[in-house]
Structure 1
Amino acid sequence: MQNRVLLAGLGVMGSRIASNFASAGKLAGVYDRNADKARNTASALKVKYYTDLSEAVRNSDVIVTMLYDDGSVQEVYSKMAADARGKLFIDMSTISPETSVEVANTIKEKGGKMYDAPVIGTSIAVERKALVVLVGGDRSGFDDVRDLLSATANQVVYIGGNGSGLYAKLVNNLFLGSYMASLAEAVKFGRKNGIPDDVITDVLTKYSSARSPTSELKVPKMISGDYSVQFSIRNMLKDMEIVDKLAAERHVVLPMASLALQIFRYLMDLGYGEEDIAAIYRSLR
């Protein structure tokens, strides 16, 4: 793989992924629409920063994006498409699979190749280089994608054609959203019945048959009221809205996911969008 790698999108996840690429000697430049953020990140990682996206693409062989939503991906890729010939694009955003396929087709028409590569894992997993990446796109180029993403992930899994990585990610986040609601209820139920916090924590993180890396991360946050962000309410809601739309289009009834969606909408309305998904505990009385 050629080594001029650009990371575009320096949010909570993107900035940490950029750091991992830089530590592995694989990062050449960064771009963010916030020029100060790009400049500061580039200075810290000792790479080049760009304020012009077209220039950034022209000077890169591989472009990795970590963006917020469908609109952000469409906007950024529309600016990059003209210079796509011969380039490899890896979009790690969680967006609608249909949007991703449309963008991938545009990139293909312009002579480039694009993969969807959404991640399972929070900012903590990025820092531990323990992400799981679910990849959709042309099988023949997957080895190059895996080689690069292994700098920030311990598992890079090929799912299928374009869009399939995102469908797999939405399966995960449907489960995660519903699981978080149940986890919060379990904590609240235990407290209301006089179970000490340390016992609740042990039950849900050590003894329960439903224990998981998520319960290990989120139960202590619920107990302590520490809602510093690892994965935000806003992002969880965005993903659950995609699930809800796709379920309606395919006539799939998802009662648990629908209830969880209503809770996350409620939390957004209360102004908790930038807090961690553990703040779902706030919805309980």
Structure 2
Amino acid sequence: MSKKIAFIGLGIMGLPMAKNLQAAGFSVTGYNRTPAKAQKLAEAGGTAAASVAEAVAGADVIITMVPDSPDVEAVLTGDDGVLANAEKGAVWIDNSTIRPDVARELAEQARDAGLRPLDAPVSGGEQGAIDAALSIMVGGEKADFDSVRDVFEAVGKTIIHVGPAGSGQTVKAANQLIVAGNIQMLAEAVIFLEAYGVDMESALTVLGGGLAGSKVLDQKGQKMLERSFEPGFRLELHHKDMGIVTAAAREAGVVTPLASAVAQFIASTVQQGNGGLDHSGLLTVVEQLSGRSKSQD
């Protein structure tokens, strides 16, 4: 594999993704605002860059994985940004989760600058990133998608082109809506079951084997039982994502009453200072509302 990849944003998701790309045989140069994270990529065989401009120099593929729409805009624009320093014809893949309208606007800017943009948010959390088993929903030109399928296959398992620019972010918004709703209902079920004193391990096992089973139950159920909320995906980020969902739904004239309710529960956890918890920490709000604050003991 001869592609040179610039990877910008080496956080909880970005670092294992960049490591997997390096392990797959690509030449990966990484940049992160915290230099120590780029150094971890270097220790895995990649290269640490001191700036965005240095990272993207000569890159065939540029990947951004940063928290929010303003962060993507900041990385893309400016004298040190992607647009001013990337090679013409390079493919820009944005794995961040941002607003669909912003994704479309930035894709237009990138194409005007001679880049080939793809919005490609991912789902699967930290473990999916580590295992190279992410679900990736991609918006942009199909030919551009096909040209970097090998890159996607090095980090993901379910990789689908879902439409033109912005489509990947729209599908990701729907994904975050479903995940948030599942986590909320799982949290309510856990508190409900605990109130009746049932054997919780057995209860979740049998629920997981029936129609109530889900990846959310498999990955988050034990975390809730143990009140272990070390972040795989932070509540503050899911709070941001639910803002994207509610705004996009309003723009489309779609009514999403359950999404709006769950968005408020997530907002409550963040406002109480728990935004750094894993999103399974949504359980803490259900505990409080039920007067059963075991997590606070």
Q: Please classify the TM superposition score into its range, dividing by the shorter chain length.
A: over 0.9
* Partner of residue 134, structure 1: 137
- Give, in angstroms, the shift of residue 250 of structure 1: 2.3
- Residues 27-52 of structure 1, C-alpha deviations (whole Å, 9 max, x = no match): 331111222322x2233122221112
Q: Which amino acid aligns with 1:13?
A: M
The answer to whether structure 1 residue 266 and structure 2 residue 268 are counterparts is yes
User: Bigger shift: 137-146 or 231-240?
Assistant: 137-146
Alignment gaps of 5+ in structure 2: 291-297
Q: Distance in 2 between matches of 1:44 and 1:271?
A: 34
Partner of 1:94: helix, strand, or coil? coil
* Partner of residue 66, structure 1: 65
CA contact (8 A) 1:117 1:166 kept: yes
Partner of 1:271: helix, strand, or coil? helix
* Partner of residue 228, structure 1: 230
Q: Distance in 1 between matches of 2:181 and 2:64?
A: 28
TM-score w.r.t. the length of structure 2 is: 0.92
Q: Distance in 2 between matches of 1:268 and 1:46?
A: 37
User: Bigger shift: 21-30 or 130-139?
Assistant: 21-30
* Partner of residue 48, structure 2: 49
Q: 2:155 aligns with which of 152, 161, 173?
A: 152
Q: Distance in 2 between matches of 1:95 and 1:111?
A: 22
* Partner of residue 17, structure 2: 17
Q: Distance in 2 between matches of 1:60 and 1:234?
A: 32
Partner of 1:28: helix, strand, or coil? strand
Q: 2:105 aligns with which of 98, 102, 106?
A: 102
Taking only aligned residues, the RMSD between alpha carbons, in angstroms, comes to 1.3
Alignment gaps of 5+ in structure 1: none
TM-score w.r.t. the length of structure 1 is: 0.96
Partner of 2:25: helix, strand, or coil? coil
The residue correspondences of 1:119-198 to structure 2 (distance < 5 A) are 119-198=122-201
Alignment CA distance shift 1:167-1:265 (3 Å)? same
Q: Distance in 1 between matches of 2:241 and 2:47?
A: 32
CA contact (8 A) 2:21 2:28 kept: no
Q: Which amino acid aligns with 1:219?
A: G
* Partner of residue 239, structure 1: 241
The residue correspondences of 1:71-82 to structure 2 (distance < 5 A) are 71-78=70-77, 79-82=81-84
Partner of 2:274: helix, strand, or coil? coil
Q: Distance in 2 between matches of 1:125 and 1:28?
A: 20
Q: Distance in 1 between matches of 2:159 and 2:174?
A: 17
Partner of 2:62: helix, strand, or coil? strand
- Residues 164-212 of structure 1, C-alpha deviations (whole Å, 9 max, x = no match): 0111111111111111111100111111122121222213322x30211
Partner of 1:21: helix, strand, or coil? helix
